[in-house]
Chains A and B, each alone.
Chain A
């Protein structure tokens, strides 16, 4: 959780945010630059490598700009932006769009500290994890990916998705159970589970 990205605009000065809400060009550009890393990262975590990532980011900003006049600053900006990202990602997860634009799983970056072989192997395993999670519903998948890959707490995820904490915990639990069940049928995932358990 400590590695979860800290969004710089959380500490955004109210002055430029207010100007952005009024539609001032410079303030909007600043908003885009400040939030882009967070948006890309969340989309990457939720969807994995996608050929249409740029389109999805554009979609996030169109929705963000439309919703901006309604943002009163009651919640953190990261929550506001994160909610929009989750909405766009969930739409993109639906099978038609998802299957049409999904790139090869091998493009998953993996751990840069690992060697080239290990990175390829990690990317393949991560692809299998995502494939196993394809079988669970979007809400459960989103909650699990934010919890497992992004390191968010159930409370943070609940805030982002607009669900209760109990519902979020339940979604994570069921996605986790589905993943472990799938791992039992997949030799490579099973091997990774055993191996990673032995060498924490």
Chain B
């Protein structure tokens, strides 16, 4: 970038040393105006500068004041009152201050004080593996165990039966060996049942039998299914042992033989649901879903929502799969896929979530969930790529 000194010299010669200047009278007019108006202009500018400075100072002081003294009040106005953070270090859980009255079964009973009570049934045999105030782990070797978890005070209560782990989310449940399997039935509240990577949530009135000796086999089976299925999530559907054996309460709808239009059946399902008859509602939704039209299609989605709400993710996905089989993309495809995406993620099935998200983007690109699905897929892609980088 060379500047041409010779050109500059020639231009300076061309312009000459002189420049146009104002005549004497004009110069005097300028000076006179500066003399006349100058003091006022300068004082006005000084006042403005002082005002701006004072305002800036006041603003800064107010910000500092707000950030220190009034921080909590302002935060309370904007975000609601502050609640103490539930930090286990700063504030130990309530359970820490309540030592367990007993750490061994005595005459088939383990008294947990305010945390509840465990009772061995059917000649049950169990060992307490861990018994600290905030964590109780019991291994059930044979027979059954009635658990009444009353107030755990933030602690954990777990029963292990072979490879099946039942973790307390609620209050009363039973774990029982049935042949090679373990039956978990919940009377009150909610429990989480795990076997390896699989997880089920059981709500009040539900029970489930889990084969405790097929941990490795079932994992292999699931992996094989995943590999074979590729993008086809329908073939990744839950394992067979997820059927619910909960008794059907008297007076509720039977599982089969529901009759009526989809509209009346859906209305009936809603009524049963309000009355707490989950199985009756399920049956009514299924019956409604046998019909045709938008109501029948929506019945499968309603059923999926119901199953999702009680933590039966496999059943929820099965209901969505049935909807897809019967109605294809349908009128409610976007809603169904968005629900499936959410359920799969909550069930910890990332690949299932990816399947639904991809279908959502592909089939309903302008839908309200497509953007969110797209962003999630991008993040997942980045995560997978980073993971791959890390592995390499």
Contacts and interface: CB of A to CB of B under 8 A. Distances in A.
Interface of A: 3, 20-25, 28-29, 31-33, 36-37, 40-41, 44-45, 48-50, 53-54, 57-58, 61-62, 65-70, 107-114, 122, 125-126, 129, 147-149, 151, 154, 169-170, 172-173, 176, 179-180, 192-193, 196-197, 200
B14 A125 contact: yes
Given A65-B41, A169-B1, A32 B20 contact: no
B38 A25 contact: yes
A75 to B, nearest CB: 18
16 contacts: A25-B35, A28-B39, A33-B31, A57-B26, A65-B41, A108-B15, A110-B15, A129-B11, A129-B14, A147-B8, A173-B1, A173-B2, A180-B7, A192-B14, A200-B9, A200-B10
Interface stretch (B42-50, B103-111, B273-281, B289-297): B42-50
A149 B15 contact: yes
Contact of A196 (B13, B21, B27): B13
A148 B7 CA distance: 8
B132 to A, nearest CB: 67
Interface of B: 1-4, 6-22, 26-27, 29-31, 33-35, 37-46, 49
Contacts of B45: 65-70
Contacts of B14: 110-111, 122, 125-126, 129, 192, 196
A125 B288 CA distance: 94
Given A32-B38, A149-B11, 19 more contacts: A23-B38, A23-B39, A28-B38, A29-B31, A32-B35, A36-B30, A40-B20, A53-B22, A53-B26, A54-B29, A57-B30, A65-B34, A69-B45, A107-B20, A109-B18, A148-B11, A173-B1, A192-B14, A200-B6
Q: Determine which residue in B9, B34, B39, B45 has the highest number of CB atoms from chain A within 10 A of its CB, and name it.
A: B34
A110 to B, nearest CB: 5
Given A66-B41, A148-B7, A170-B1, A32 B34 contact: yes
Contacts of A192: 14
Contacts of A3: 12, 17
A121 to B, nearest CB: 10
B31 A148 contact: no
A151 to B, nearest CB: 6
A169 B1 CA distance: 8
Contacts of A109: 16, 18-20
Contacts of B3: 147, 154, 169, 172-173, 176
Given A33-B31, A54-B29, A147-B8, A49 B20 contact: yes
Contacts of A70: 45, 49
Given A24-B39, A169-B3, A32 B21 contact: no
B126 to A, nearest CB: 80
A25 B38 CA distance: 7
A69 B38 contact: no
B12 A151 contact: yes
A28 B42 contact: yes
B7 to A, nearest CB: 7
Contacts of A180: 4, 7
Enumerate the 6 nearest inter-chain pairs by beta-carbon distance, A residue then B residue, closest first: A44-B19, A23-B42, A111-B16, A28-B38, A32-B34, A65-B41
A196 B3 CA distance: 17
A114 B13 CA distance: 10
B19 A40 contact: yes
Contact of A69 (B15, B17, B18, B46): B46
Contacts of A173: 1-3
A31 B2 CA distance: 39
